[in-house]
Copies of this chain bind each other. A is one copy, B any other.
């Protein structure tokens, strides 16, 4: 951030009175520009034990596999974001179950949230941001070609919980 989005004057970075962190501040119009973490929301679509993954057609991690997920939009709920991203990336319709993982990724200022989900039909196909979409048995998951550590963590916990007969919420930090 170099310029004030409210008045167009240059901003400076300093700690405002009463605050304890540096912010981008505009001395012309007195606006303080706070910056906050973003949420990435998606799901784990399951069909008869297999899980749907998407191969990314965009950077970062072009060509790597991911669970359907993406940035939550303003005026959306978490569930709406998960359903929208699954539709956009895989043209797939799911029924959402509980929130399964809530993962803080502080080095990129993100929080990733994945729901458990039941894939409703097999009529899926790659969206504009995917090269390929397919169902994987656990033994087929391309662990060394997964796009993000939050996806790896979520899938590892998911398969472990499924073997142990019960799903529970996983809240972890990815550093």
Contact = CB atoms under 8 A, between A and B. Distances in A.
A5 B7 contact: no
Nearest to A174: B77
B3 A73 contact: no
A8 B6 contact: no
Interface in A1-41: 1-11, 18, 21, 24, 33-39
Interface stretch (A43-51, A100-108, A118-126): A100-108
A160 interface: no
Number of this chain's copies in the assembly equals 2
Main SS class of interface, A: loop
Contact of A79 (B74, B77, B173): B173
Interface string A75-90: 1111110000000000
Contacts of A11: 5
A111 interface: yes
Contact of A38 (B9, B10, B36, B71): B36
B18 A8 contact: no
- Most B-side CB within 10 Å, residue of A1, A36, A39, A113: A36
Interface of A: 1-11, 18, 21, 24, 33-39, 71-80, 98-99, 102, 104, 106-107, 109, 111, 113, 128, 169, 171, 173
12 contacts: A3-B4, A5-B24, A34-B71, A35-B74, A36-B39, A37-B72, A39-B111, A72-B111, A75-B109, A76-B106, A76-B109, A80-B106
